[in-house]
Amino acid sequence: MKRSLLVEIVALVLIVGLCLGIGALGAAVTATSVKTWYAALNKPSFNPPNTVFGPVWTMLYILMAIAAWRVWRVADRETARRPLTLFALQLALNLGWSVTFFGLERLGPSVAVILVLELAVVATALAFRPIDRIAAWLLVPYVAWVGFAAILNIAIWRLN
């Protein structure tokens, strides 16, 4: 679908802003317990230092925003509806995991949320693939990180 360069740039800025905004909400929830409750949990040996999470998540939010923008940019409204709905769902689940794990401090339920999140991210990448292969590939680091985070979440749940 042909749009003006200005419209495409504005859309990119808005989608990046949306993704980073969701990330900021998740970070705000995380900050409520990362130095207290979370610090007191038993963690596996492969748990990264806390300083790793912010930069990794920021990069992932930017990559996922670019992926969604690429799909929005090339697909007509009807073609983009399902993939972008899946994208919105995984963003909501992403925030939901932060709320469940850090906000509510519920380890078991957070495992369920992150497993559903992983499925939603994979489904989003698969839905993006026929529209824009690069968009699908841009989600691969996110799929990998959420997979790692799920393993970490399960390990923390088992240790506590």
CA distance 59 to 65: 10
**Pair of tokens at residue 155:** 């390990």
Domain 5-159, second-level architecture? Up-down Bundle (1.20)
Looking at the chain, list the stretches that DSSP marks H as alpha helix, in order from N- to C-terminal side: 5-31, 37-40, 50-74, 77-98, 107-128, 133-138, 140-159
Query: How much is the pTM?
Result: 0.95
pLDDT in tens, 58-99: 999 999 999 999 999 999 999 999 999 999 999 999 999 999
Dihedral sign computed on CA atoms, order 85, 108, 44, 54: positive
Cβ partners under 8 Å of residue 144, min gap 6: none
pLDDT confidence band for 50 (50 / 70 / 90)? very high
Checking if the pLDDT of 1 tops 80, the result is no
- SS3 (DSSP) at 159: helix
CA distance 12 to 66: 7
Checking if the pLDDT of 120 tops 90, the result is yes
CA distance 114 to 107: 11
Checking if the pLDDT of 103 tops 80, the result is yes
